[in-house]
Amino acid sequence: MTESVKIVYKDRIYELPVRTGSHGEKAIDISNLRDQTGFITLDPGFANTGSCSSAITFMDGERGILRYRGISIEQLAEQSSFIETSYLLIHGRLPTVKELQQFSVLLNDNSLVHEDMRGFYQHFPRASHPMGILSSMVNALRSFYPVLETTDEEIDLTVTRLLAKIRTMAAMSYKISRGHRVVYPRPDLSYCANFLNMMFDTPVMPYEIIPEAVDALNVFWILHADHEQNCSTAAVRLVGSGRVNLYAAISAGIAALWGPLHGGANQAVIEMLSEIHANGNRIRPYIDRAKDRNDPFRMMGFGHRVYKTYDPRARIIKKTCDRLLAKLRISDPLLDLARELEEAALKDDYFIDHNLYPNVDFYSGIVLRAMGIPTNMFTVMFAIGRLPGWIAQWKESMDDPNWKISRPRQLYTGPTQTDYIPIGQRNL
């Protein structure tokens, strides 16, 4: 028997069906609410609104669970690679050895970027933020590479092009911003090792591939590969619902990710640590400010909107962070300050009672800084990692037989009908 929820309004009773997810979670289906009642729902921030059904990522914020296609994030971070995880998200299953090899070859073959695109990079003002450049350049790919979306094989080619080229484009933007020679991808290096080499190799100082740094980047990208219907993923689905091409939908996701409350949070962590360091490394005043409801200051990198317990990704990347710092033996006052802040917060009753544990952004900022990634590139690193999730979500929405163009409603609170007043009769 199908479950339903009854809504009583005055002398009328309305029944709405209840949908059940794979793990028993319940959703009230309000798709016919307006037709039945004339009402809409109001949910600022969409915290209680499901915009779609999806088989890609499962999250349980109360229990601290994150799974891609049913596989726990812990297993993927420990045993998988970013490329294999990308395949899993996009295709819905783990690849065979042959499929993974073919996927890797395709990524290598499509990793070069059209030389004419370099002109675009060189004409951006030097002060341009890398995220703005990346969003623009991903959109520009449509002019250089046709969108192939007729058959599964053609979609795979478009998807592979994007995955392969975004890494090259990100490294190019960094090199050009510094006035350095662009380094091209090498066929003998893995996806993660190639990126680091393209970022840091120079004619006068060849880059040394450090396995711990490659592993750290691999884990970082796996942890960020998808995260259910967050701000940027919802943007990709919403823009994609207009049946725009994949490049345009991903460009919208990059723009949404840019914000400091979303993908820019790890950059904000380092900026916060820099401010604390500049003010004499005094942690206690900042902790006190974070606990003051009347103070707009926020302790960046602590707590999460969805996770009401410890962020499962934070546990994983903390171990990665410790291994990387032990290997590199870096002397950095900000990294020492981060550990001191972490220790102080974890002992503070207010932070414990309010579930303000260090989240993935806190540790990922430290990991990226230790690898030498510039602070303004942090969000770009997040975007590269999130790309397979965006693609999977876009692809799923394109294949949805119940697809509808996204068109949220609103509750209008402005003036009622008002007559136009000629300008000469208006009282200033």
Which pLDDT tens digit goes with each residue over 228-243?
999 999 999 999 999 9
Fold of 4-60: Rubrerythrin, domain 2 (2.20.28)
The Cα–Cα gap between 134 and 186 comes to 22
State the pTM of this model: 0.91
Which one from 188, 304, 311, 354 is the annotated catalytic residue? Answer: 304
The pLDDT-based confidence of 147 (bands split at 50, 70, 90) is low
Buried residues in 307-336 as b, exposed as e (16+ CB within 10 A) = beeebbbbbbbbebbeebbeebeeeeebbe
- Predicted local distance difference test score (pLDDT) of residue 148: 61
Q: Mean per-residue pLDDT for 305-327?
A: 88
Sheet strand arrangement including 65-68? 57-60, 65-68, 71-72
Is residue 118 over pLDDT 70? yes
pLDDT in tens, 318-341: 899 989 999 998 878 888 888 888
Q: How far is CA 221 from the centre of its chain?
A: 10
Question: What is the residue-averaged pLDDT of the chain?
Answer: 91
* Catalytic status, residue 304: yes
pLDDT of 125 reads 85
Most confident among 47-61, 70-84, 179-193, 369-383 (mean pLDDT): 70-84
Which tokens sit at 410? 């609103």
Cβ neighbours for 44, distance < 8 A, ≥ 6 positions apart: none
pLDDT for 179 equals: 83
The residues that bridge with 27 in the sheet, in sequence order, are: 19
Domain residue spans in the chain? 4-60
CA distances from 243 to 57, 138, 406, 424 (A): 23, 17, 11, 47
Q: For residue 408, name the pLDDT band (cuts at 50, 70, 90).
A: very high
CA distance linking residue 152 with residue 154, whole number of Å? 5
Say what percent of the chain tops pLDDT 70.
98
Supply the pLDDT for residue 1.
59
* pLDDT over threshold 90, residue 379: yes
- Residue 284's alpha-carbon distances to 17, 88, 139, 333, in angstroms, are 51, 44, 45, 17
Mean of the pLDDT values across residues 168-195? 91
Q: 141 or 149: whose pLDDT is higher?
A: 141
Per-residue pLDDT at 359 exceeds 90: no
Average pLDDT on 140-168 reads 83
Most confident of 10-14, 139-143, 180-184, 390-394: 390-394
For residues 127 and 88, what is the distance between their CA atoms, to the nearest angstrom? 37
Residue 180: predicted pLDDT: 87
- Active site residue: 201, 226, 311, 361, which one? 361
Q: Is 361 an annotated catalytic residue? A: yes
**pLDDT in the model for residue 119:** 83
**Token duo for residue 188:** 């003998």
Cβ atoms of 253 and 232 closer than 8 Å: yes
Measuring CA to CA, which residue among 216, 268, 302, 278 is closest to residue 376?
A: 268
The yes-or-no verdict on residue 356 having pLDDT over 80 is yes
Between residues 82 and 150, which one has the greater pLDDT? 82
Dist CA 271 CA 321 (whole Å): 18
Report, as an integer, the average pLDDT of 58-79: 95
> How far is it, in rounded angstroms, from Cα 304 to Cα 225?
17
**pLDDT tens across 201-222, in order?**
999 999 999 999 999 999 999 9
pLDDT band at 317 (very low <50, low <70, confident <90, very high): very high
Average pLDDT over every residue of 275-301: 89
- Average pLDDT, stretch 338-346? 86
